[in-house]
Amino acid sequence: MSHQRLSLLSVGALFVAAILLYACGKDKYTSKPQLKFIKADSYDVARGGFITLRLEFSDKEGDLTDSLFIRSEAKGCPTSNISVGYPIPTFPTTTNSKGELEVTFANSVNISGYLIFSPKCNRPDTTTFYFWIKDKAKNVSDTISTDKPLIIRN
């Protein structure tokens, strides 16, 4: 009797292990677009400097819209906060799309093609950036953020 019980427990443990392995290996693409923050090329941006933030995206249907949405929050300086749409380059629509996006900000410099960010409180801003994306079916990704605040100098 105890041998049968041990055998059933072994089969049960193997079944649970098989489910866990299947769950870990299953396709990560979902209809809801996914975003992941990869890195910032700097966390301290001088006046007149540039910062590039890198994000990874994936989407099961490959039907992302033309904009990445960005919001910033400058600690203790709400007048520096921004909320904008950043154009995504056109790319071929394929299922299980995955790639990287680069967002480049110019600190207090007006240069075509770059988002402009300027501190407004007469001191460096400690800023966290938030990102989300929407697809043509109106599925919206979770909002992600930079891994730590950036210092934007004036």
Report pTM.
0.79
Q: How does pLDDT run across 82-92, given as a tens digit for each residue?
A: 899 888 877 77
Q: How does pLDDT run across 48-97, given as a tens digit for each residue?
A: 999 999 999 999 998 887 789 999 999 999 999 989 988 887 777 789 98
- What 3-state DSSP class applies to 107? strand
Query: Quick one: pLDDT band at residue 5, thresholds 50, 70, 90?
Result: very low
- Of the options 3.90.850.10, 3.10.20.30, 3.40.50.970, 2.60.40.2550, the CATH number for the domain spanning 34-152: 2.60.40.2550
Domain ranges (residues) in the chain: 34-152
